[in-house]
Structure 1
Amino acid sequence: MSSQSAVPSPVRLVAMAASATLVGIGLGRFAYAALLPGVIQRGWLSEADAGYVGAANLLGYLVGAVLAGRVGRRWGATPVIRLSALLVAVGFAASAWPGPVWWFSLWRFVAGVTGALLMVLAPSLIAGHLPESMRKRGTTWIFTGVGVGVLFSATLVPLLIDSGLMLAWLGLALACLPPIWVLWRRWPPVAAANPHDQGPGRGAGLLLGVVYVAYLLDAVGFVPHTVFWVDYLERQRGFSHWAGALQWAVFAVGAVSGPFLAGALARRLGWHRTLITALTLKGTGVLLPMLVPGLAAVTASSFLVGAMIPTMVSGVMGRTAELVPPRLATQAWGRATALFAVGQAIAAYALAALYARPGGGPLIFQIGGVVLLAAALLMALSGVAARRAGHR
């Protein structure tokens, strides 16, 4: 009875984990990305310097994902989650004045590390305490924080920039405070490890490896829309600044609705088929405006890709948790996140080089879409092979 009373209600558990994803990814990553054009226009950073700063963030995310499990075990998940959220806010405040490139790079590196720690530790800790009846829904709703941050970046950040860069940075720091307050509430205890738990068997291990590869490939398809989409629409498709911003807002609405769609898919199809569906829809969404002319195809692409980002994240987390014992769930999710970070970093540099070439705009979306569809096919084939071998 006492152990049960120590666990907050499921709604509060989901709100706590969603607050972590809001601070770490929604604000720490996407809201910053919306600030970047203003930072360059006002001369705080050159375009080349902005590239170095962005690379520091990607490196930090990789470091955080690799170390998350170890750091959580060493210092405890709850203190690490709280400190990470605080450091995101401190990083925004510390960037509110023009400084050297190394200063911005330092805080973007810190934001990358802390974002990965929040993304790995908080969802893993919370998902294990959700009742079985709402575990799939709850696991997907955790990632509404990402969508809310994207929506914030599409709507309020441009208004903050109009008030001045200093106020914009400080506004982002203040925006972190409400979710940090939620994170300061009582967290559930870390589930005790079962010494009899073993790692995944050979069949499950192969399935887990396929999930890892598919998530790495998903990172390649993630880059075109999250890095180049608005710029591509404005500079290569003739969209006005406001029309491009509207498409980013549609993307944000998709990202907010994605967790609820993911929950419905997971309950009906299971995690494995949810991943196949998400990869197929995401790949189709990335390719659609390259194949079909007109505003409707562009808008459908914005919404579909936005919705599939949290669907993929929650799907990978749910599927890895199915394939490993509970005590290994955080480690497995951390590895998946680290592989995503590797794929994202490599794709960002490679696709940026292609994008700068003549005709590179459509090409990077074609590459992203084909890679996503290949990942969907890989997942489908692994499911067929697993059923023949008697695995789930």
Structure 2
Amino acid sequence: MIPTPAEATGPLLRQAPARRWAAARLALGTASALGISRFAYGLLLPAMRTDLHWSLAQAGALTTANSLGYLLGALLAGVLGRRWGPTATFHLGMMLTALALAATAVSGAYLALLTARTAAGVAGALVFVAGGVIASRNAAAARSPAPITIYFSGAGLGIAVCGASLPPLMTRAPHDWPSAWIGLAAFAFLATAASWTAARVDEPELRSATGRPRMGRLWRTALAYLLFAGGYIAYVTFLSATLAQDHAPVWLISTLWTLLGIGAMAAPRLWNPLIGAWPPARVLTTLLALLGGASALALVSTSYAVLAISVLAYGGTFMTVPAAVTATIRGATRPEDWAPTLSAFTTVFAAGQAVGPWAAGAIADHTSAGATLVWTAALCASAAVVAATGRPKPPR
């Protein structure tokens, strides 16, 4: 049964402080594996590009390498989840994320950085899938989508931390980007320790091989997810580069990234009632349409107020898309199929991410950095149209 808006927003907040605290600590998984490991690169990109003499296509290729690693990790996550369970898979992903971030600081050689970013992608997918399964089971136990939206909103904490710290650091020491990666690795190790005991479910974990990915009834959702993945990552990857090309002050870049993270952290309060009350297709369509509009808004004007609205709207929606897709999977498949189906969707997601940054960067090299925002707006709008036609039914 789908809870009403009042039922959807309340249960987790009314439960014991220990459970609320556990949900917040589990969200450190996306803070580390997404907010830090993946999205911090967009802030460090201008300094690394200048210091290492990269083109935009080369810069985008590192994000593509990260996404290819993410693709591999998504394939591994389904296997490891069935064999070890989501808790052990989550722990492994968190440890590998911290180690990959530390490895990014070791060398400025392009091949070494490609390897480190690929490893970070593998680790991030393990965390993403395993944590999503844990959050889904906790949401089922709580009869509320709150554990899912809280989990994915954790990426906002990592983004806000990066936005507040990295731009000023890169201004004072633009060639010292390795130290920034070391600091991010330290954050990831702390997040691993803090989230360790939160990565559990309130029922015996399913490790059998009986579950199967159920993509047939969800193919429209999967296609929309593919388009979203190829589009959204360009906004996050190249926003700082676009602003730097327009000679935006450092305080503005820092403020906008912090607002992006704050928007992502605030998203559960806004979207929990709608995910609980609206049909999944309507939620996903609304989110994707807002993302397309938010990215297009940054093209309309470069005024500080318009850019602030753009990043707040983007931050308040982009990490809720995986939450909405996860909720869709939970409602359209049996519990034993959640892990393999989520792993299959993450594979689709990773494929879109692998192509998107490189393609957007290559187009921008022949036009302008602003072309990356056009890319995001076009793909998210297309994804919204596809999602509007998908209405998956619950399993028998």
State TM-score, norm by structure 1.
0.84
Q: Which has the higher contact order (CA 8 A, sep 6+)?
A: 2
Matched position secondary structure for 2:278: helix
Residue in 2 that maps onto 1:209: 219
Residue in 1 that maps onto 2:389: 381
Cα distance in 1 for residues equivalent to 2:64 and 2:216 = 32
Q: Deviations over 1:91-115 (max 9, x none)?
A: 2333334353333222221111000
- For 1:205, give the aligned amino acid: G
Matched, 1:344 2:356: no
Residue in 2 that maps onto 1:178: 190
Question: Is the 2:81–2:339 Cα contact (8 Å) retained in structure 1?
Answer: no
Matched position secondary structure for 1:29: coil
Cα distance in 2 for residues equivalent to 1:35 and 1:322 = 39
- For 2:205, give the aligned amino acid: A
Question: Is the 1:10–1:130 Cα contact (8 Å) retained in structure 2?
Answer: no
Cα distance in 2 for residues equivalent to 1:132 and 1:74 = 23
Question: Is the 2:101–2:184 Cα contact (8 Å) retained in structure 1?
Answer: yes
Q: Deviations over 1:96-135 (max 9, x none)?
A: 3435333322222111100011001112123213355453
Q: Extract unaligned runs of 5+ from structure 2.
A: 1-16
- For 2:329, give the aligned amino acid: T
1:84 Cα offset (Å)? 1.9
Large movers: runs of 4+ above 6 Å = 193-199
Matched position secondary structure for 2:197: coil
Residue in 1 that maps onto 2:129: 120
Question: Is the 2:46–2:241 Cα contact (8 Å) retained in structure 1?
Answer: no
Cα distance in 2 for residues equivalent to 1:336 and 1:174 = 30
Q: How does 1:264-279 map to 2 (within 5 A)?
A: 264-279=273-288
Q: 1:129 to 1:257 in 2, by over 3 A?
A: closer
Q: Extract unaligned runs of 5+ from structure 1.
A: 1-7
Q: How does 1:40-51 map to 2 (within 5 A)?
A: 40-43=49-52, 46-47=54-55, 50-51=59-60
State TM-score, norm by structure 2.
0.83
Residue in 2 that maps onto 1:59: 68
Question: Is the 2:73–2:123 Cα contact (8 Å) retained in structure 1?
Answer: yes
Residue in 1 that maps onto 2:205: 191
Q: How does 1:135-174 map to 2 (within 5 A)?
A: 135-161=144-170, 162=172, 164-174=176-186
Q: How does 1:1-392 map to 2 (within 5 A)?
A: 10-43=19-52, 46-47=54-55, 50-98=59-107, 100-161=109-170, 162=172, 164-185=176-197, 187-188=200-201, 190-192=204-206, 205-206=216-217, 208-236=218-246, 239-291=248-300, 294-358=303-367, 360-383=368-391
- For 1:320, give the aligned amino acid: I
Cα distance in 2 for residues equivalent to 1:195 and 1:248 = 42
Compare CA radii of gyration and give the structure with the larger one.
Answer: 1
Q: 1:241 to 1:111 in 2, by over 3 A?
A: same
Q: Deviations over 1:40-86 (max 9, x none)?
A: 4444x745765554332121011111221112222333222212211
- For 2:184, give the aligned amino acid: L
- For 2:145, give the aligned amino acid: K
- For 1:382, give the aligned amino acid: G
Cα distance in 1 for residues equivalent to 2:208 and 2:189 = 37
Cα distance in 2 for residues equivalent to 1:331 and 1:56 = 24
Cα distance in 1 for residues equivalent to 2:30 and 2:118 = 17
Cα distance in 2 for residues equivalent to 1:391 and 1:120 = 21
